[in-house]
């Protein structure tokens, strides 16, 4: 390991040492403000160090990690998302009667895992990344340990994630026994290409078992069942983190894995993905239709969005990568925005995430409700928002690869989706039913750091919806580095 290796890994190093520093600072003195500040500075430093890492890229470090344009781009995206979550979480944690400082430690470690995932080019680093991320998430989801729901969600996630890891690990073993390689790129060659990849039954079984593990992390159908319970139970900032950073990093890994090779996916894997995509879009949107809890509703919505992403993922060539990236980022911005607004709105110790809690909110907090509506419209893919252009690129990429069936399902299921997004918007804007039903309107103070984060997200939402050109050019440069 030489100096430039260290430079290439500097974001990871900065991030993990910050986690240690936060931990040590807790040992000396418990101070919520200090811990949060340290974590935020760590994230900022990691983000800054991306510049130096970029100078050293592309570089393969220790055979496990590949630092190139692609991984740096996604590292930046994930670090920014984590920072957004952190800013939103501070006021939320401030209200909790827990030890609050370890939250940031776990958050930093989870981000570490996500960064490992996006740079991973080897089965070992893949598994390491997923586990670092998952183990931190167990703690984060169950962080409010005196409340029943977070605890239940944490337990469920622990059991199921462990199960899925078992699938993943077993799949890796089978693949290795068949091919003798743990390199993602050489593994990809063995089931890419038509007509007949030279892969035996064991190898195929290994691939499918690995996809099961990854599908669980992405929460695509039919591996989606855990999502609503965990989303509902986890504290709001953690839900936002699960929905964005965790899924985004796994998706980035998948994208690199399958798009790194030149040829197209072979038929069995292709059909497995098509099935997952279609099932996710339909099931996600249908399940959300009559949902009364907004967190659960967003969980189902995120299942559907993963389905849309898989459609872009299936599209061949650089257009597929670009469309998937654009959509993923639009999704991250919007989901962070929605959960951020919900975090800001849930004053007091209990979260109020039932649809009826939002009824008539507009008449009390017009700005927040307006932004909420804008975010939901973006999720629904209404023009002028990031979600619309993202969906446009996805459909364009899929159509240019003649993926007519997925495109058809995408259009039908997004139409169904508009219904439940509008249901929330209608609730926001409806007149409060009876005066006596609601208690006195709560005086809402949006903390400074959260409003900063929200403002950035809203601006991005409209910039990506109205003027995508510079950003699209950036994505094109990034996708070129993937070869």
Partner 1 sequence: MLNLLWLAPAFPLAGAAVLALFGSRFPRKLVSLLGVGSIGLAALVSFLVGWSFLASPPPGNAFLLPLWTWMDAGSFRADFGLYLDPVSLLMLVVVTFVGFLIHVYSTEYMRHDDGYARFFAYMNLFVASMLLLVLGNNLLVLYVGWEGVGLCSYLLIGFWYRDPANVRAANKAFLVTRIGDTAFAIGLFLLFTHLGTLDIQQLMQRAQSQWEPGSGLAIAAAALLLAGACGKSAQLPLQTWLPDAMAGPTPTSALIHAATMVTAGVYLIARTQALFRLAPPVQLAVAVIGATTLLMAACSALAQRDIKRVLAYSTISQIGYMFLALGLGAWSAAMFHFMTHAFFKALLFLAAGAVIQALHHEQDMFRMGGLRTELPVVFWSFVIGGSALAGLPLLTAGFFSKDLILWQSWAGPNGNIWFWLCGMAGALLTSLYTYRLIFLVFYGPPKAHVAARPGLAIKLPLVVLCVLSIVGGYADTPPHFGGTPALSNFLNSTLPALEEVHVGPITEVTTALCASLMFAAGFSLAFVLYYRRRVEHPSETALARFWSAGWGFDQLYDGVFVRPFIWLAAVNRNDVVDAAYAGIASAAQECSRVLRLTETGRVRWYASGLALGSAVFLAFVLLTR
State both tokens at 308: 């849309």
Distance, in Å, from the CA atom of 261 to the CA atom of 239, rounded to the nearest integer, reads: 34
Q: Is 198 in the site for partner 1 (CB under 8 A)?
A: no
The reply to whether 275 sits near partner 1 by the rule CB under 8 A is yes
Helices (H), 142-196: 148-179, 184-191
Interface pick for partner 1 out of 177, 194, 263, 290 (rule CB under 8 A): 290
- Applying CB under 8 A, the site for partner 1 has a residue count of 39
Least distance from C-beta 338 to partner 1, angstroms? 21
Among 45, 205, 446, 456, binds partner 1 (CB under 8 A): 205
Nearest-angstrom CA–CA distance, 308 and 415:
13
The region that residue 30 occupies, defined by phi over 0 for left and psi between -120 and 50 for alpha, beta otherwise, is beta
Number of neighbours of residue 100 by Cβ within 10 angstroms: 22
Among 57, 75, 120, 164, binds partner 1 (CB under 8 A): 164
Query: Is residue 57 near partner 1 by the rule CB under 8 A?
Result: no
Q: Does residue 151 interact with partner 1 by CB under 8 A?
A: no
Dist. CA 482–CA 119, nearest whole Å: 12
* Residue among 109, 287, 389, 394 that touches partner 1 (CB under 8 A): 287
Alpha-carbon distance 213 to 331, whole Å? 22
Q: Rounded to the nearest 10 degrees, what angle do helices 267-288 and 201-218 cross at? A: 20
CB of 215 to partner 1, least distance (A): 8
Contact with partner 1 (CB under 8 A) among 190, 207, 334, 414: 207
Instruction: Give the residue from 483, 191, 116, 117 showing the smallest Cα distance to 321.
Output: 483
Distance CA 201, CA 199 (A): 7
Position 442 contacts partner 1 (CB under 8 A):
no
- Compute the distance between CA of residue 48 and CA of residue 431 in angstroms, rounded to an integer: 47
Stretch that binds partner 1, among 73-81, 131-139, 163-171, 304-312 (CB under 8 A): 163-171
Among 113, 129, 139, 215, binds partner 1 (CB under 8 A): 215
Residue 113: CB minimum distance to partner 1, A: 21
Under the criterion CB under 8 A, does residue 172 sit at the interface with partner 1? Answer: no
216 is a contact residue toward partner 1 (CB under 8 A): yes
411 forms part of the interface with partner 1 (CB under 8 A): no
Return the SS3 of 400. Answer: helix
Residues in touch with partner 1 (CB under 8 A) = 155-156, 159-160, 163-164, 167, 199, 201, 204-205, 207-209, 211-212, 215-216, 221-223, 225-226, 228-229, 267-269, 271-272, 275, 283, 286-290, 416, 419
């Amino acid at each position: 390991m030489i100096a430039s290796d260290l430079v290439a890994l500097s974001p990871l190093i900065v991030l993990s040492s910050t986690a240690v520093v936060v931990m040590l600072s807790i040992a000396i003195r418990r101070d919520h403000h200090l811990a949060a500040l340290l974590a935020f500075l760590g994230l900022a430093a990691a983000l800054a160090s991306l510049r130096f890492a970029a100078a050293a890229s592309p570089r393969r470090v220790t055979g496990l990690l590949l630092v190139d344009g692609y991984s740096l781009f996604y590292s930046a995206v994930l670090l920014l998302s984590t920072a957004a979550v952190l800013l939103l979480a501070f006021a939320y944690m401030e209200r909790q009667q827990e030890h609050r400082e370890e939250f940031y430690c776990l958050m930093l470690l989870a981000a570490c895992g996500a960064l490992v995932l996006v740079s991973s080019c080897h089965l070992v680093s893949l598994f390491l990344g997923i586990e670092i991320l998952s183990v931190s998430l167990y703690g984060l989801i169950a962080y409010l340990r005196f409340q029943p729901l977070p605890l239940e969600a944490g337990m469920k996630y622990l059991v199921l994630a462990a199960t899925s890891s078992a699938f993943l690990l077993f799949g890796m073993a089978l693949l290795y026994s068949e091919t003798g390689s743990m390199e993602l790129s050489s593994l990809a060659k063995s089931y890419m290409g038509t007509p007949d990849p030279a892969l035996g039954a064991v190898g195929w079984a290994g691939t499918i078992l690995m996809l099961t593990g990854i599908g669980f992390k992405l929460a695509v159908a039919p591996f989606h069942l855990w999502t609503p319970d965990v989303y509902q139970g986890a504290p709001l900032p953690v839900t936002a983190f699960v929905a964005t950073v965790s899924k985004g990093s796994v998706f980035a890994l998948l994208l690199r894995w399958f798009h790194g090779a030149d040829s197209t996916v072979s038929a069995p894997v292709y059909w497995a993905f098509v099935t997952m995509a279609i099932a996710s879009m339909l099931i996600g949107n249908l399940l959300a239709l009559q949902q009364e809890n907004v967190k659960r509703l967003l969980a189902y919505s995120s299942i559907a969005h993963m389905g849309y992403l898989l459609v872009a993922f299936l599209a061949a060539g650089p257009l597929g990568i670009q469309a998937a990236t654009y959509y993923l980022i639009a999704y991250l911005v919007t989901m962070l925005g929605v959960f951020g607004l919900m975090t800001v709105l849930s004053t007091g110790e209990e979260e109020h995430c039932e649809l009826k809690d939002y009824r008539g909110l507009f008449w009390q907090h017009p700005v927040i409700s307006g932004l909420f509506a804008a975010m939901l419209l973006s999720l629904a893919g209404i023009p002028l928002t990031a979600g619309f252009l993202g969906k446009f690129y996805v459909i364009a990429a899929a159509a240019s690869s003649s993926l007519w069936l997925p495109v058809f399902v995408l259009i039908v299921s997004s139409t169904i989706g508009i219904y439940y997004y509008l249901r929330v918007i209608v609730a926001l804007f409806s007149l409060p039913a009876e005066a006596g039903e609601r208690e006195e309107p709560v005086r809402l103070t949006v903390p400074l750091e959260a409003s900063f984060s929200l403002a950035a997200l809203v601006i991005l939402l409209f910039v990506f919806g109205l003027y995508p050109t510079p950003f699209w050019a950036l994505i094109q440069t990034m996708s070129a580095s993937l070869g």
